[in-house]
Each structure stands twice: as C-alpha cells, then as structure tokens.
C-alpha cells in the first residue's frame, strides 16, 4: 500500500512539474454561432416582422426599429431625432405619460426609445401573457406620440444643460472635431447637437419627423421569446399594427465623405491640465472584405489591457493612464480611431509612440499568440452577447437597419477565426498609415503647440 501511495504521489508531482503556471491555459476555438430559426413576414402596410421562439423563460423581448436616427436630422437642426426618441413615451393621442407608465407597471413591462446614427428604436419586454398589451403600447407611441409642449420645454432645457456638461470634457471636443473632419458633409459628421439647434426645435418639427420617418414600410418589428404559435402571434401584431396606414418610405440622407488625408488640428483650451489626442479616418462598412481583418487589427492595436497601445503607452512608457483603439461601424462606412490623454510635457514622445505602433502594424506580421488571443476574445464577446433575448433581438434589428443578411451573424465567428496575419498587415498598411490620418489634439496651445508642430502643419482653433 505504501508503494502505491508513493507511486501516486510521484506521478502527481511529475505532472505538476509539466504545467507552466506562468501562462494562461489555451482557450479552444469557439464553434460557429447557430442563429435560432427566424420566421419573417410582412404586413400589407409594409411592416416587416421577425419572430424567434425562445421558451427558456416566459418572457418576450420586443424591438421596433426604423431606418432613421440622426442622419435624418435637418442640417440646421441636429438633435431632432434624439429629441423625438426621448419624447415618444411622454404621451400619445390616447394615453398620457402617466397612463403609459401605469399600464406598463401593471403588467411589469418596460418600454423605452432611443436614436442612433442610422436608426431609431422602441424596445421593451414583458411576460408572455401580456404580449398583446405591450404590442398595443408600442404601436401607440410609434404612431400617435403627441409631444406635449410642457414635456418639450423640459426636455430642451435639460438637454442644453447636458450639452454644456458634455462639452466641458476635452475628449468630447476632440471626438466631435474628429468626426466633422473625417466625414465632411455626410450626416455622420454630426455627433452632438448645438444648444441653439436644440432650442430651435418646435412641436411641429417633432410631428413632421414622426410622420416622415416612423412609417410601417420603414420599420421592422422583432419579437424574441416565449411567443405563441406563428399564426397567433401574427394575429396579435395585426390587431395593433394592421391599421397603421402605409406611407412612402423616406430616402436615406447621405453626402460625400472626403478622401482620407493627413491633417493636424489643435483645439486650444487654455488651462487644460493635459492633452487629449484623437487620431482616425473612415474605413469600410460591414459588407466589405476588409471589415473583419480590420476588426481584428484594431483590437490587437488597442482593444483592452493586453493590446499593443495599452502595453506600450501606459505600461512601458507611463505616458498615459489609458490608450485604446476602436472601430465604430455605421451603415455606410466605419471610423477607426485611437485615443489617449497625456501630460503636456510628454505629448511629443507619446504621439511618436502612438504613430510608431500604427506603422508597425502595417510593417510586421502580428504574432500567432496575439492573433489567437484576440480572435478568442472577439468571438467570446460576440457569442456572449447573443445568449440573451435582448442580444438576439438587437442583433436582428441591426441586421435589417444595416442591410445585412442574417448569415452575417452565423458567419461572424468563422470569419474572425479565418483572419490571417498577412490580411491584418495589409489592412493596417492601408488604413493605419499616418499619411492618411486625421489628428485632433485638445489642450493648452501655449504648452503643446510647439511640440505638435513638429509633426506637420497645424490648424488651430479656440475651444468654444
């Protein structure tokens, strides 16, 4: 018996010695995501309906999404779409704001609205037994929002105060300027409204937006959860939405996006304690073959605490608390950007280090370990986001707004996994080249102007 014990202990010791505990365990590749069955139909008035059955819990998640959002704002009235979205629940032709709140509370349901660059959405959830009531309320706010004047006045006053607070942040000023320079006359250039634009919004403007953009042929209704049979669910939907009159679908506003070109802009903010740096350019939309390699490349460059920018700029050099890179996708295109905030005295070496990391991505292949880690990270985040009803509903709504096939979701994991080092190097050389990047720096011009001038011609302006 003693011999057996000794042998077992020796084997355990030998096994322990073969494990390198300084390295994390290998993560096996994720299997491709399998989208649940999606039943798609269209009402006579043009409303598209998507239904996905999920019986795990007696809950239904709703998304009513419109091709709309900020891009439909009139040039002189940025902020109109966000104002419409914020006031949709504040009363309809048949229900006051209080009545809506009480009806939702009675059934333990939620109903909210929001607007983005390319879309406006009404979202909610409820227990399955109350689905018909939630559908009725969602239809009511979409069709009959009345925009009471007292709610408009309150919203406008609050929003002007919010904007003052937002624009007190250097990062907001830098991001706002970067978008304007990158997107030119395209609606994507406008990220925040002005106080004057918000103040100019009248009730008639909100009603006109509602009647133009919130129309059935411009909308998709998504239901995910413990829904009844397809026929029963469609009957419920028709009860609330069938009488919604069909109207012409508005054309998507657009505009020319300028070709990427090198520029350096200094927003002089006297007394700033640090310099806020934003660097970027527009890239491609989700349908372009460069999109997935760019997602991986951007994540390796600046996506989290193990990314190149974070490790170099923060951990090795100590220039900044954070340094990151992001790619934000729109329907028409995307923007890739690098951001960091540094002390005035290290602006020059910090900016040199950021530019060096951008150039390195296009000159040298990424390591196999970097590539494997970021693929697993990206796919893990993607799959986790689709484990809930809300995640599936939001992704399906997004597919419709962005003109993407549902196969985009099922192929995501495989497409990320298939990205190779040469693809990353190619797209990095094309899209990360400093010769085509827009640089915006917000800070005290007297302190950082001379250092910034060493990188090229600087266009200056005063912070508003």
- Using only C-alpha atoms, what is the Rg of the chain? 26
Cβ neighbours of residue 442 closer than 8 Å, sequence gap 6 or more = 170, 171, 173, 174, 177, 266, 267, 269, 272, 275, 276, 463
Given a contact cutoff of 8 angstroms between Cβ atoms, the answer to whether 185 and 255 are in contact is yes
The answer to whether 171 and 276 are in contact (CB under 8 A) is yes
* H runs (alpha helix) in 364-388: 368-384
Tokens 């902020």, residue? Answer: 79
Question: Domain extents for the chain?
Answer: 39-241, 263-462
Q: Where are the alpha helices (DSSP H) in 59-147?
A: 80-87, 97-106, 131-144
Please tell me the distance from the alpha carbon of residue 203 to that of residue 211, in angstroms, as a whole number. Answer: 12
Cα–Cα distance, 366 to 116 (Å, whole number): 34
39-241 and 263-462 agree in CATH topology: yes
Mean pLDDT per 10-residue run, the chain (464 residues)? 47 52 60 84 98 95 96 95 97 95 97 97 97 98 97 97 96 97 96 96 98 98 97 97 96 93 96 95 97 98 95 95 96 97 96 97 96 94 93 96 94 95 98 97 96 96 88
Quick one: tokens of 293? 């390699």
Helix/strand/coil percent split, the chain, to 5: 50, 20, 30
> Which two tokens mark 218?
């411009």
CATH of the domain spanning 263-462: 3.30.830.10
Instruction: Name the pTM for this structure.
Output: 0.90
Query: What is the fold of 39-241?
Result: Cytochrome Bc1 Complex; Chain A, domain 1 (3.30.830)
Region of 460 (left: φ > 0; alpha: ψ -120 to 50; beta: rest) is beta
C-alpha torsion angle, residues 242, 245, 246, 250 (rounded to 10): -120
């Amino acid at each position: 018996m003693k011999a057996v014990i000794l042998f077992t202990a020796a084997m355990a010791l030998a096994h322990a010695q073969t494990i390198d505990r300084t390295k994390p365990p290998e993560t096996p590749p994720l299997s491709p995501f399998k989208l649940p069955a999606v039943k798609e139909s269209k009402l006579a008035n043009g409303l598209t309906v998507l239904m996905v059955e999920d019986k795990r819990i007696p809950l239904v998640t709703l998304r009513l999404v419109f091709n709309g959002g900020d891009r439909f704002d009139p040039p002189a009235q940025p902020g109109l779409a966000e104002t419409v979205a914020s006031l949709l629940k504040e009363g309809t032709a048949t229900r006051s704001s209080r009545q809506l709140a009480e009806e939702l509370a009675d059934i333990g349901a939620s109903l909210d609205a929001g607007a983005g660059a390319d879309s406006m959405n009404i979202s909610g959830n409820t227990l399955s037994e109350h689905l018909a009531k939630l559908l009725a309320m969602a239809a009511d706010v979409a069709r009959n929002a009345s925009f009471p004047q007292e709610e408009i006045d309150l919203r406008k006053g609050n929003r002007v105060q919010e904007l003052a607070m937002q624009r007190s942040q250097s990062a907001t000023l830098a991001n706002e300027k970067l978008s304007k320079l990158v997107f030119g006359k395209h609606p994507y250039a406008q990220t925040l409204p002005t106080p004057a634009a918000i103040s100019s919004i009248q009730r008639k403007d909100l009603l006109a937006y509602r009647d133009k953009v919130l129309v059935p042929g411009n909308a998709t209704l998504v239901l995910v959860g413990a829904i009844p049979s397809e026929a029963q669910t469609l009957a419920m939907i028709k009860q609330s939405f069938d009488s919604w009159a069909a109207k012409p679908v508005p054309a998507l506003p657009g505009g020319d996006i300028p070709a990427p070109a090198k520029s350096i802009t200094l927003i002089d903010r006297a007394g700033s304690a640090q310099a806020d740096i934003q660097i970027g350019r527009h890239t491609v939309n989700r349908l372009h073959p460069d999109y997935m390699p760019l997602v991986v490349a951007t994540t390796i460059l600046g996506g989290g605490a193990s990314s190149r920018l974070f490790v170099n700029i923060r951990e090795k050099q100590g220039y900044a608390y954070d340094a990151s890179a992001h790619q934000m996708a729109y329907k028409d295109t995307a923007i890739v950007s690098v951001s960091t905030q540094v002390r005035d005295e290290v602006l020059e070496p910090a900016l040199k280090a950021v530019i060096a990391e951008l150039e390195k991505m296009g000159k040298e292949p990424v390591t196999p370990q970097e590539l494997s880690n970021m693929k697993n990270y990206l796919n893990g985040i993607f799959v986790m986001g689709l484990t809930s009803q809300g995640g599936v509903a939001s992704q399906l709504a997004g597919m419709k707004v962005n003109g993407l096939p549902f196969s985009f979701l099922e192929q995501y994991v495989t497409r990320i996994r298939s990205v190779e080092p040469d693809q990353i190097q190619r797209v990095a050389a094309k899209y990360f080249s400093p010769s085509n990047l827009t640089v915006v720096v917000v800070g005290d011009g007297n302190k950082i102007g001379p250092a910034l001038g060493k990188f090229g011609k600087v266009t200056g302006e005063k912070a508003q």
